[in-house]
Amino acid sequence: MRTPVSNPPATSVPRVLARVALGAALVFAGVSHLTFARDSFYAQVPPWLPLNATFVIVASGIVEIILGVAVLVVRRRRAQVGWAVAALFVLVFPGNVSQFVTHSAAFGLDSDLSRGIRLLFQPLLVVWALWCTGAWAALRASTA
């Protein structure tokens, strides 16, 4: 039976737990952008970005909160939320690369090794978002 993109198949307990963890992590990260960790996020704003760094930090924090809440509560468009979260992780990747290239210490990442290891984990965040929201399953179902 074909499953519409807007209503991915029922999810397993591990997928639900992963989705709750992802949503909570996004909300936490977003709140940290706006409050206690704002200064640390300046290390991730690329110097070549033609936008005010404070605006980037605040806007990305708000987006993370909205997406985190959406991951936790949206049901009918869960797959689309998954794609949006994956896109966010792709969009912030240049900031992580910038932190590595500029050797900026933040978030306890005080060596090139630690910053490089974080870069390797960024694709896993994309996979996490697509898997736990059923985005891949919905895409496969829509093309079947």
User: What is the residue extent of each domain of the chain?
Assistant: 13-136
- Is residue 109 classed as helix, strand or coil in its secondary structure? strand
For residues 49-65, give the mean pLDDT: 97
Q: What percent of the chain stands above pLDDT 70?
A: 92
Q: At what angle do helices 112-132 and 78-101 cross, to 10 degrees?
A: 170
Contact 46, 98 (CB under 8 A): yes
> How many C-beta neighbours within 10 Å does residue 15 have?
16
For residues 113-135, give the mean pLDDT: 96
Residue 85 confidence (pLDDT): 98
Supply 73's token pair: 């509560």
Split at pLDDT 50, 70, 90, the class of 142 is confident
Flag whether pLDDT at 8 surpasses 90. Answer: no
Supply 128's token pair: 């996490």
Instruction: Find the largest Cα–Cα distance for the chain.
Output: 52
Residue 120 confidence (pLDDT): 95
Flag whether pLDDT at 4 surpasses 90. Answer: no
Higher pLDDT, 138 or 89: 89
Flag whether pLDDT at 60 surpasses 50. Answer: yes
